[in-house]
Homo-oligomer: A and B are copies of this chain.
């Protein structure tokens, strides 16, 4: 028997939402996967929408925390700060199962509340910070930050998704090469 049913429910929901999406997942299915009665879910979350927002925010918080550990000093070279972002996100993708997939496929969803959206923006701001600084230093292409973020984030999401499904084998060497590719995409030449 598990210690914390709330966590069991969130874990089950994460897996199912990542796999089939919010609208494709029924509450009783979540209950089954969590090995919990359907009613129990409503002891912890007012409704399905509150559940998905709680999960989203928890995931973003974890991802943000991961990004904020061992941060290179602001004075560190942009190249190093970019590497940090890449490998931290990669680390999170590896550690927390389907979390990145869930985040990526739901970050535009209409059922996310203000707070969820805000937290997601804050996460993007962490990337934006490095990119903006890199542009100022002339190390990164002078394109709109949104475009640069979209490229790097879009590429990473797709890649880690692939690794999760097994379509791409994850080796340390490959990861390092891919990181360099991402950097090459946005650096000035």
Contacts and interface: CB of A to CB of B under 8 A. Distances in A.
Contacts of A38: none
A96 to B, nearest CB: 19
Contacts of A187: 184
Contacts of A22: 23-24
Given A150-B161, A185-B185, 20 more contacts: A20-B110, A21-B21, A22-B24, A23-B24, A144-B169, A144-B174, A147-B159, A147-B162, A150-B162, A150-B168, A151-B158, A151-B159, A151-B182, A152-B155, A155-B155, A155-B185, A181-B185, A181-B186, A184-B184, A184-B185
Interface of A: 20-24, 105, 110, 141, 143-144, 146-148, 150-159, 161-162, 167-169, 174, 177-178, 181-182, 184-187, 189
